[in-house]
Amino acid sequence: MTHGRCNVCRARCPVLEPAAAVLTPSAAWWQAGAHGSMQALVDGLAQRAGVSFAVELPDGSVCRGGGDKPSFTVVFHTDAALVSAFTRAHIGLLESYFDGSVDLTGDLGNAFAAAMSAGLDLQSRPWNELENLLHELRHSNASPAQAKANARAHYGLGTEFYRLWLDDPLMMYTCGYWPAGTTTLEQAQRNKIDHVCRKLRLARGERYVDVGCGFGGFMFRALETTGALGTGINTTTEQVHWLRDEIGRRGLADRLSVREADFRETGGPFDKVVSIGVLEHAGRDQLAEVIRAHAELLRPGGLGMLHFIGHLGRFETELFIRKHVFPGGWIPSLADAIVAMEHCGLEVLDVENLRRHYAPTLDAWAERFDRRWDEIQALNPARFDERFRRVWRIYLVSCAEMFRSPAGYTHLFQVLFSKGNVTASSYPMGREHVYGR
């Protein structure tokens, strides 16, 4: 850079120059001279994001933007990491961070908030889009066998792993509910379950199915508070075995049960259907099929709840999440989900957007994950290594900022529905039963 701030690219660079030929127009600054243009890029991003930050290049020179003390610094250790960042956008930068050729000092949350404010999450490269397409071809949830493998890759990491950073004892791995006065993750998860139960009017003796039941937290809490009888469906073998043993240990086998099955393998009919965090795992082309399976689980006149991450509009699902966190995952649009429900004869009774509630949930998970990392690593040092830590920290912190962003298009919806139209006598005309007003 000029004015003594950077001296890395005054000469032609034999490592980076060949990459310039394949850069997309949005990265064409490199062709005009990476050095001075790097400072211009940093200045532009700092201005758009409204934050001060710095970039340290492999020779130790530093480009600063924003004027004040940097809230974070991106440190490139190799030229190859620079090439990866500017040819593969944020995917290249993240994967360089995972392998240790990039580090970040300072506030990781501020870094992601700044990137999203600057619109970097909306940028892509043609080869990233191609990689996302190839990922779908390899990991599509179209077949139950692949869907099961995808689920086990994430949810099969072991009960002890999740116990260390989820709420105790319910271990709910979905968005909590944080109305005024909520101060802990445990409260937020109990609030969420109770909120769903009130919407569904879940009552003693009713039979419901919990699709994608995880560690059974919903079923245990709902039995305690409503007396309803639950059947869980889960395709993750490790969770099913643990939950079946836990139900037996608590002496609840006459009231709760769990079945290892694909979400599309329907049973029933049930009085109520609970589906918390399932549609994200339907897959790119299976949304209608999975929603139809939910409808078939429900008796005529029964009520159901779809609680899921959804887009406002149609967007590609983030490659980082699909490749490194949730293989086969696909975030549907709210509109597409509702159309699929209409085609199954389901009446939409209520849609609530809980986007803001996911940020504090993820904050709590990230704080616990960091605080208990030594215990996590001790469970299995080979599996839970430094790369795993970096991937999961990025996952938890970036998603928190995504849901916190006022400009984001990824939200969290609760859609209450009935199988066929409700009447004035079959469901309350107001919402007093939900909010107590």
Which residues are catalytically annotated? Answer: 399
**Residues in the chain, how many?**
437
